[in-house]
Amino acid sequence: MAKNFDAKMIILFRTCFFFLLLPSLGYAALPQSSNVPGGVAIVSLGAIAASDTSPQVWIDDRPVYVAANENQWVAVIGLALNMKPGIHSLRIDRGNVSNTQIFEVHPKQYPEQHLVLKDKGKVNLSPKNEARAKREIARIQKLKRHWRKTNDTDAVFTLPAEGRMSSPFGLRRFFNGAPRSPHAGLDVALPVGTPIKAVARGIVLATDDYFFNGKTIFIDHGNGLITMYCHLDQIGAKVGDEVAKGQDIGTSGQTGRATGPHLHWSVVLNGNMVDPELFLTGGGAE
């Protein structure tokens, strides 16, 4: 009887110890899953063992955020707006063993939006402004691919400001009748000077004043999850600052290419712009 009791106590201790380990393994709330271009795919990678370490996952040549969710490892994948629907694959490394896992992306048709800009120089760029814009786009693309491994990524966000959602994510945009890139963020109509807050804890990755985006802040939330806050009037944080969820980081404005005062808020995951609304309500693997 004593031996059986001791064995049960050992099993109970190991079970409790395993669950105590989960926060250090990256247990966190997740965004809502939506397997469409511009969405987030959450793919189960299998159960977590007590002695497990997080598998490493890549899509193409980019690392993917891996989290612990309900005793399973899951890959949290940002899907590009121009990603083709169909079957796609992940590369998974577990120690010395590598394999692939497939997942499916479904089609989605986003609506159109036609805007008129009085400043035609923001639509038909001069050679000088075009050269500037190209340099800035290259810098932004590099920032979007930034990777910082961490175990405390918070992937369920609060709104950066309360206001009317003036332009949702994914709109196929036309400026003065000319087609432009899809709207890769969420616009919130706000008076100039409205406080803007960090949507989750993180580290300020970069700040700058861009031709298109105006005054902008990038916050790194770890594991390839980055948020952008554009068209600001004032930037109230500096590179390297650690910010808390809900902390003021600046004020809204109308800098850069903007038809009116508003905040353009973008979310980047493994280098791809994805729908911010998926991060406002937690979800899980489909």
3-state secondary structure of 268: strand
Q: DSSP string spanning 142-188?
A: HHHT-----S----SPPPSS-SEEEE-TT-EEEETTEE-----SEEE
> Tokens 């916050």 appear where?
219
Q: Which two tokens stand for residue 74?
A: 């899951």
What pLDDT is attached to residue 122? 60
For residues 136 and 212, is the Cβ–Cβ distance under 8 A? Answer: yes
Secondary element (H or E) of residue 63: strand 62-63
pLDDT band at 94 (very low <50, low <70, confident <90, very high): confident
Residue whose C-alpha is closest to residue 147's, from 61, 34, 24: 61
Q: Is the pLDDT of residue 24 over 60?
A: no
Q: Which of 13-17, 34-38, 119-123, 165-169 has the lowest mean pLDDT?
A: 13-17
Determine how many CB atoms are found less than 10 A away from the CB of residue 91: 15
Residue whose C-alpha is closest to residue 247's, from 207, 202, 281: 202
What pLDDT is attached to residue 223? 98
Phi/psi at 35 (5° precision): -85, 65
Spatial separation of the C-alpha atoms in residues 252 and 231, rounded to whole Å: 7
What pLDDT is attached to residue 95? 81
3-state secondary structure of 198: coil
Q: Is the pLDDT of residue 14 over 50?
A: no
For residues 228 and 235, is the Cβ–Cβ distance under 8 A? Answer: no
Question: All domains of the chain, ordered by start, with CATH?
Answer: 2-105 (2.60.40.1590), 112-279 (2.70.70.10)
- Parallel/antiparallel/unpaired status of strands 172-175 and 164-167: unpaired
What pLDDT is attached to residue 23? 39
Higher pLDDT: 229 or 116? It is 229
Cβ neighbours of residue 12 closer than 8 Å, sequence gap 6 or more = none
Find which of 138-152, 161-175, 272-286 is predicted with most confidence, using mean pLDDT.
138-152
pLDDT band at 22 (very low <50, low <70, confident <90, very high): very low
In this prediction, residues 100-110 reach a mean pLDDT of 95
Spatial separation of the C-alpha atoms in residues 174 and 197, rounded to whole Å: 29
Q: Say if residue 17 is exposed, middle or buried (CB neighbours under 10 Å; 0-12, 13-18, 19+).
A: exposed
What pLDDT is attached to residue 140? 97
Using alpha carbons only, give the angle 17, 21, 24 rounded to the nearest 5 degrees.
Answer: 165
Q: What secondary structure letter does DSSP report for 50? A: T
Give CA torsion, residues 169, 172, 173, 178, to 10 deg.
170
Q: How confident is the prediction for the chain on average, in pLDDT?
A: 86
